[in-house]
Amino acid sequence: MSISDVHAGHAALAGRIAAFWSRLGAWGESYLHHMSRVDQIRRLEAKSDAELAELGLSRQAIVQHVFRDRMGM
């Protein structure tokens, strides 16, 4: 095994490690984004029907409202 083989092996390993951390970071970001939506749903659900009406929402439409960008609405 030559030095260039060792360097190539290290570079490949470093690439795999970087890819792992990148995927982990993307998952973490996705999880936090999801949780922020859950918090938004809870805040809206805590409002009275009158407060929701002022926002132009019905109680049944809260989830669709919060995820409207994902649902093509």
Instruction: List, for residues 21-70, the tens digit of each pLDDT value.
Output: 999 998 888 887 777 888 999 999 999 999 999 999 999 999 999 988 87
**72 domain-assigned:** no
46: Cα within 13 Å, side-chain hemisphere: 6
**8 domain-assigned:** yes
**32 domain-assigned:** yes
From residue 15, alpha-carbon distances to 8, 18, 59 in Å are 10, 5, 48
**62 domain-assigned:** yes
**37 domain-assigned:** yes
> Residue 11's domain spans which residues?
3-66
**36 domain-assigned:** yes
Instruction: Say what the pLDDT of residue 35 is.
Output: 79
Total domains, the chain: 1
Asked whether the beta carbons of 39 and 18 are under 8 A apart, the reply is no
CA distance 35 to 11: 36
Instruction: Say what the pLDDT of residue 42 is.
Output: 92
**73 domain-assigned:** no
